[in-house]
A and B are shown apart, each in its own frame.
Chain A
């Protein structure tokens, strides 16, 4: 699989670096309560509209599941309807094919500059690198994406790509890129920084030959792409250049506009707490003779990149995902590390499921384990994806494929063997509790525990009285 190279195998090592990065930790500490408060506000407004989250998410999950049940049918309908409106529809098996198709289009249409609205699929494909190699300059126009492009980093969050950056870091990036002195900035300066980016980006919007966007949904009945944005850059990218390329995953199709309306009640509320995003664009076909705006040509690139292989499997529910980011916004692991620790395109719980499924189980061994199983993610998911259960399922696959370290397998085997032999277990645990008690200090706590050093690296281990419950209970019954 070509495309963005996964660093997911280095999760453990990266986790340590991220925990030690005080600047990052500060940014994450500030961001999390904002994210959760926003969704909370969205849920309050949902209730104020007389809508029940549980019912609505059951409806949304059903819409997404119905699509997956007959994905080929809906994709063929979408293709026919999009073509009828003058669009071209291309199919890409993987990230490398996406890049090839876009580079070919750029050559065919003599494209020198590309403006991009947010597209996670283009991250999967590592498209920017491919465009640069072909002599085409890609300009990210989503403010967060613009920031991470200047920093030469991948996004760290699917809806807030630069959430890991502080204002001071952004000012330094802007100062260097825009050729001005650095300044001391405060949160009240954010509008000024946004204005600065806007002034730089405006001529790029006007000069671009090709605009690339993702799509939040593809509508089968109309052949349209639905774009949910807040900054207005999406409209400039999709309507100003003569060529508009939509790159999105094959699972993003939904049957009708009615279905989009249902999903839109949940998507912005789950993501940013808004009742509706600042812009919802419905992009259908090319500019017709009597229209003044819009591209001369629209190309859809519909990408598989491992998705079709999940159909019919226990992991199919993952394809219901509508990329709201609520799971990571409520994840204690994500907010301890930030998105870059996860090593590929998608972070947080949805990334911990999707990355091994799309890039290979053996390419992301840690990710299915990077969860406390708290299910804060599953509880907020607007399409009811059982994320902890899917992570557990991936662990089971790792066991089947013998991808776990031998020591870990043996430890569990020995423990299991004993736990299935209660008399022997009881006899050995008598020794264990005495040993623990002997190790403990005067306050009944172990400071350094050689058997499980990970526990006592950051915590004491409070231990019992040196007798197990069952031992004490048996003694009491004898008395």
Chain B
């Protein structure tokens, strides 16, 4: 089996450690893991801004890069949801791309849900001394139904204790360009998330989408919280600080 890691543009630019942690975890499945070259962005920002032609062009580019793999794993619920649900719809009228888009969509998995099925049983390489809380990102939770998988995985990390915060399913206020277009509203929404994180008194908040994590970490720090760690699930599961 050949697994392709679709790194996502945010991980590429803002936190490469998540990509390397994902590679280490995927290697534990025993499969061959490849990072297909030429990756840029899945096109979700263009789609949500209503730019259909650009979203379609980026979808064709990604489908072409990802078609020859058995599984495509994405360390982001948001990007995975876009590939799984939007690509087939976006390319449905293009005879040359329709089938390929459906195949790629059908083989694309969000990291946590794939690992929960594909990893051999037993403890995971990560070590985490302390209590973490998990933030459900909107597209992962409501778009792909990812709820239990990341929690099950976290509980397999040595020393880790999981404690739910209030309203863990509430949106963090990121919303892609929303966070910039309506920056003040976005900040108000993430304040509620930060308050929930603080009230949980956990040493770290963990999530599966870097967009949410940058938003939550950026606001926590601005509020003066220098200690609560904000980590991607892959970083916690794989252990180490990444590369």
Q: Is B127 an interface residue (CB 8 A)?
A: no
Task: Name B12's contact: one of A372, A458, A461, A470 (CB within 8 Å).
Answer: A470
* A315 CB, nearest partner CB in chain B, Å: 14
Given A19-B185, A422-B39, A459-B215, verify A429-B178 contact (CB < 8 Å). Answer: no
Q: Is B27 an interface residue (CB 8 A)?
A: no
- Which residue of the partner chain A has the closest CB to B19? A469
Given A376-B171, A429-B13, A461-B218, verify A419-B183 contact (CB < 8 Å). Answer: no
- Which residue of the partner chain B has the closest CB to A471? B16
B174-214 CB mask vs A (1 if < 8 Å, else 0) is 11111111111111111010000000000000000000001
A337 touches B12 (CB 8 A): no
Q: Is B118 an interface residue (CB 8 A)?
A: no
Residues of A within 8 A of B122 (CB): none
Residues of B within 8 A of A433 (CB): 13
B178 touches A15 (CB 8 A): no
Given A376-B170, A462-B218, A469-B11, verify A454-B181 contact (CB < 8 Å). Answer: yes
Q: Is B154 an interface residue (CB 8 A)?
A: no
Residues of B within 8 A of A392 (CB): 47-48, 50
A461 touches B175 (CB 8 A): no
* A348 CB, nearest partner CB in chain B, Å: 13
A380-401 CB mask vs B (1 if < 8 Å, else 0) is 0000000000001111111100
A454 touches B39 (CB 8 A): no
B41 touches A419 (CB 8 A): yes
Q: Is B2 an interface residue (CB 8 A)?
A: no
* B174 CB, nearest partner CB in chain A, Å: 7
Q: Give the complex CA separation of A52 and B182 in angstroms.
A: 37
A465 touches B189 (CB 8 A): no
Binds A, one of B53-61, B91-99, B100-108, B157-165: B53-61
Task: Mark out the residues of chain A between 263 and 309 whose CB falls within 8 Å of any chain B CB in the assembled complex.
Answer: none
A397 touches B50 (CB 8 A): yes
Task: Name B40's contact: one of A419, A455, A457, A459 (CB within 8 Å).
Answer: A419
Given A19-B184, A395-B49, verify A332-B170 contact (CB < 8 Å). Answer: yes
Q: Is A336 an interface residue (CB 8 A)?
A: yes
A370 touches B182 (CB 8 A): yes
Q: Is A416 an interface residue (CB 8 A)?
A: yes
Q: Give the complex CA separation of A468 and B41 in angstroms.
A: 14
A376 touches B142 (CB 8 A): yes
Residues of B within 8 A of A19 (CB): 184-185, 188
* B42 CB, nearest partner CB in chain A, Å: 10
Residues of B within 8 A of A375 (CB): 138, 142-143
Q: Give the complex CA separation of A412 and B58 in angstroms.
A: 13
A372 touches B38 (CB 8 A): no
Given A419-B41, A459-B215, verify A371-B175 contact (CB < 8 Å). Answer: yes
Q: Give the complex CA separation of A435 and B180 in angstroms.
A: 20
Residues of B within 8 A of A452 (CB): 180
- Count residues on chain B whose CB falls below 8 Å from chain A CBs: 65
Q: Give the complex CA separation of A465 and B182 in angstroms.
A: 28
B182 touches A455 (CB 8 A): no
Task: Name B49's contact: one of A15, A399, A462 (CB within 8 Å).
Answer: A399
B15 touches A464 (CB 8 A): yes
Main secondary structure of the interface of A (DSSP, over half): helix
Q: Is B152 an interface residue (CB 8 A)?
A: no
Q: Give the complex CA separation of A418 and B180 in angstroms.
A: 21
B14 touches A457 (CB 8 A): no
Residues of B within 8 A of A429 (CB): 12-13
B188 touches A336 (CB 8 A): yes
Q: Give the complex CA separation of A41 and B61 in angstroms.
A: 47
A372 touches B14 (CB 8 A): no
Q: Give the complex CA separation of A11 and B40 in angstroms.
A: 34
Task: Mark out the residues of chain A between 350 and 408 whose CB falls within 8 Å of any chain B CB in the assembled complex.
Answer: 369-376, 378-379, 392-399
Residues of A within 8 A of B12 (CB): 429, 468-470
Q: Give the complex CA separation of A37 and B13 in angstroms.
A: 40
A459 touches B50 (CB 8 A): no
* A363 CB, nearest partner CB in chain B, Å: 18
Task: Mark out the residues of chain A between 1 and 56 whose CB falls within 8 Å of any chain B CB in the assembled complex.
Answer: 12, 15-16, 19
Given A371-B178, A373-B138, verify A416-B54 contact (CB < 8 Å). Answer: yes
A412 touches B51 (CB 8 A): yes
Given A373-B178, A412-B46, A457-B183, verify A432-B54 contact (CB < 8 Å). Answer: no
* B208 CB, nearest partner CB in chain A, Å: 15
A459 touches B222 (CB 8 A): yes
* A476 CB, nearest partner CB in chain B, Å: 8
* A179 CB, nearest partner CB in chain B, Å: 39
Q: Is A473 an interface residue (CB 8 A)?
A: yes
Interface CB pairs A-B, < 8 A, 23: A332-B170, A372-B171, A376-B138, A392-B48, A412-B54, A419-B40, A419-B43, A419-B58, A420-B58, A420-B61, A422-B37, A436-B13, A455-B179, A455-B180, A458-B190, A459-B187, A459-B218, A459-B219, A459-B221, A461-B214, A470-B35, A473-B20, A473-B35
The 9 closest A-B pairs by CB, nearest first: A372-B175, A458-B187, A395-B50, A459-B218, A454-B183, A396-B50, A374-B171, A469-B16, A374-B138
New A-B contacts (19) at CB < 8 Å, excluding given A332-B170, A372-B138, A372-B186: A19-B185, A336-B185, A336-B188, A372-B175, A374-B171, A375-B142, A395-B50, A397-B50, A419-B41, A419-B43, A420-B40, A422-B61, A429-B12, A429-B13, A452-B180, A459-B190, A459-B215, A462-B221, A468-B16
